[in-house]
């Protein structure tokens, strides 16, 4: 019998797990994927939103501003890259100024600090490559950028270090509400057996409605909203410094142009509601539309420097707000549903919010020892010459460059494999180290990375996958002649 089982090892599930691990509880996180953050959390813009566009009084507004405030300390504790680069919402005509002013007033009511409406000259001073069409902009200095992979993994690793069990490649098939002697608990049937728990936290992303509807008569529907992106080579990194938005619409925050925390440039996302909750393909028409709209914001976007495209699915609920809290007719079942943008920003605040709900349900005490800090993987390119030399003297694997595009060494890959909740797939290595994220998109480093994985995991190289399941890269060996 667990105290709490969290369904979903994305950024929300892992944030809740870390906050709950401060207390004396038996905790588990369960996910059908082979790694942390394989759902919505793996494919988003990595923007830490300021919070000016959320509806006043909504959970989105409250948790966005709070999550933004918490992000700096969290990044320090978990040793993850984070930068407050600021954001701009562009106004392209005098007719849009009234809408921009409403956005400003909305942000003030949401208690977003340091908002300004600036004129064209001031915009051009901040961003020389901005479109000549721009007449003014809303400037939010508290906007930021973070690595969504690293944030999610760091939360999970820290939760694991504080005693949380992680059950990966374990798909939830059914959740049953069991009522005995006036008390309610839950049985969770999976492809690997049954779990019992006093409390369930439903952080299952686009599948949150599936599990909610298993235990409640008050049904909800989560729509998968696909967003497609284009990623540019680092040669384009200096084109803009701020995150550049267009005016938000009912389907989202519109097409953005932003630097990433690792020095690339990114544009997107599109917004298309899809029935298939596994549909993460990209389409030529959507990518062309993204490029066209992004070019309205920033002059001379170097489209020939796009190195990859990708898409992710956002969990949209028709009420256009997060659904967070205990279900009325399912005591002990807590939803974290409909968590779309700005969900990544809100994650630290959502973790605390749900933890407080659970603390009011379970009599528990804080642990005497909570490990609040986590050390990330060495980044050889960010070390001084002396630090690099000392690291290589202690372990020569840090001198063996495997990924030339990103300058990732064998030592860094070994760290990724052997740390808590270590990598077991090529994508797992990529998200932890960026090996394969550069210009050649893993064209050269894949074979060597596979060899290292096979050696360290003590499995045959044929068993190595891209992201678990049936995603094998080698289907067999040639017969000897």
Q: What are the tens digits of pLDDT across the range 209-258?
A: 999 999 999 999 999 999 999 999 999 989 999 999 998 876 567 899 99
Percent pLDDT > 90 in the chain is 95
Query: Tens digit of pLDDT for each residue in 120-170?
Result: 999 999 999 999 999 999 999 999 999 999 999 999 999 999 999 999 999
Question: What is the fold, at CATH topology level, of the domain defined by 380-463?
Answer: Arc Repressor Mutant, subunit A (1.10.10)
Rounded CA-CA distance 347/11 in Å is 6
What is the rounded average pLDDT of the residues 338-364?
Answer: 96
Instruction: Please give the pLDDT value at position 252.
Output: 64
Q: What's the residue count for the chain?
A: 481
Where exactly are the structural domains of the chain? 84-144+223-314, 380-463
Instruction: Please give the pLDDT value at position 5.
Output: 98
What is the rounded average pLDDT of the residues 403-421?
Answer: 98
The dotted CATH code for 84-144+223-314 is 3.30.9.10
Query: Residue 74: pLDDT above 70?
Result: yes
Query: Tens digit of pLDDT for each residue in 92-123?
Result: 999 999 999 999 999 999 999 999 999 999 99
pLDDT band at 182 (very low <50, low <70, confident <90, very high): confident
What is the rounded average pLDDT of the residues 375-387?
Answer: 96
Q: Which positions are catalytic? A: 49
Global pTM value:
0.97
Q: Are 162 and 155 in contact (CB under 8 A)?
A: no
Structure tokens at 105: 């007033």
Tell me which residue has tokens 């495997």.
Answer: 402
What is the rounded average pLDDT of the residues 11-24?
Answer: 98
pLDDT band at 476 (very low <50, low <70, confident <90, very high): confident
What is the rounded average pLDDT of the residues 391-400?
Answer: 97
Catalogue the E-assigned strands of 127-264: 136-140, 144-146, 165-167, 172-180, 183-190, 193-202, 222-232, 243-245, 256-259
Instruction: Please give the pLDDT value at position 478.
Output: 74
Query: Residue 81: pLDDT above 90?
Result: yes
Mean pLDDT of the chain: 96
Q: How far is CA 364 from CA 18, 21, 23, 349, 356, in A?
A: 16, 11, 7, 21, 11
């Amino acid at each position: 019998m667990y105290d709490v089982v969290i369904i979903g090892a994305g950024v929300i599930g892992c944030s809740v797990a870390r906050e709950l691990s401060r207390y004396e509880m038996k905790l588990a996180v369960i996910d059908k994927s082979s790694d942390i953050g394989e759902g919505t959390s793996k494919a988003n813009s990595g923007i830490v939103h300021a919070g000016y566009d959320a509806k006043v009084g909504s959970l989105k507004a409250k948790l966005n501003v709070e999550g933004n405030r918490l992000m700096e300390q969290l990044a320090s504790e978990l040793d993850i890259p984070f930068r407050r680069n600021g954001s701009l919402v562009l106004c392209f005509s005098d007719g849009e100024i009234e809408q921009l002013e409403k956005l400003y007033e909305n942000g003030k009511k949401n208690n977003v600090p340091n908002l300004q409406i600036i004129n064209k000259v001031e915009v051009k001073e901040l961003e020389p490559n901005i479109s000549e069409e721009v007449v003014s902009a809303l400037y939010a200095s508290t906007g930021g950028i973070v690595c969504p992979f690293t944030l999610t993994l760091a939360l999970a690793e820290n939760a694991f270090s504080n005693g949380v069990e992680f059950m990966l490649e374990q798909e939830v098939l059914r959740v049953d509400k069991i009522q005995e002697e006036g008390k309610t608990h839950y049985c969770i049937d999976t492809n690997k057996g049954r779990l019992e728990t006093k409390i369930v936290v439903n952080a299952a992303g686009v599948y949150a409605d599936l599990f909610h509807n298993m235990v409640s008569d008050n049904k909800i529907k989560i729509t998968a909203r696909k967003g497609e992106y284009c990623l540019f080579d680092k040669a384009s990194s200096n084109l803009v410094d701020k995150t550049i938005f267009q005016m938000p619409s009912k389907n989202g925050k519109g097409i953005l142009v932003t630097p990433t925390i690792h020095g690339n440039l990114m544009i997107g996302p599109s917004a298309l509601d899809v029935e298939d909750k596994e549909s993460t393909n990209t389409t030529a028409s959507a990518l062309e539309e993204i490029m066209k709209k992004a070019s309205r914001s920033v002059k001379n976007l170097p489209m020939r420097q796009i190195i990859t495209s990708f898409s992710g699915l956002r969990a949209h609920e028709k009420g256009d707000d997060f659904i967070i809290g205990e279900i009325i007719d399912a005591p002990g079942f807590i939803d974290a549903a409909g968590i779309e943008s700005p969900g990544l920003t809100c994650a630290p605040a959502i973790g605390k919010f749900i933890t407080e709900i659970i603390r009011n349900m379970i009599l528990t005490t804080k642990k005497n020892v909570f490990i609040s800090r986590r050390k990330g993987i060495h980044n050889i390119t960010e070390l001084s010459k002396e630090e690099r030399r000392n690291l290589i003297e202690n372990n020569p694997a840090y001198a063996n460059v495997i990924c030339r595009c990103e300058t990732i060494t064998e030592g860094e890959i070994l760290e990724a494999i052997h740390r808590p909740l270590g990598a077991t797939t090529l994508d797992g290595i990529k998200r932890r180290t960026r090996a394969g994220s550069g210009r050649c998109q893993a064209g050269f480093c894949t074979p060597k990375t596979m060899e290292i994985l096979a050696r360290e995991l003590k499995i045959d190289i044929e068993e190595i996958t891209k992201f678990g399941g049936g995603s094998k890269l080698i289907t067999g060996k040639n017969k000897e002649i």
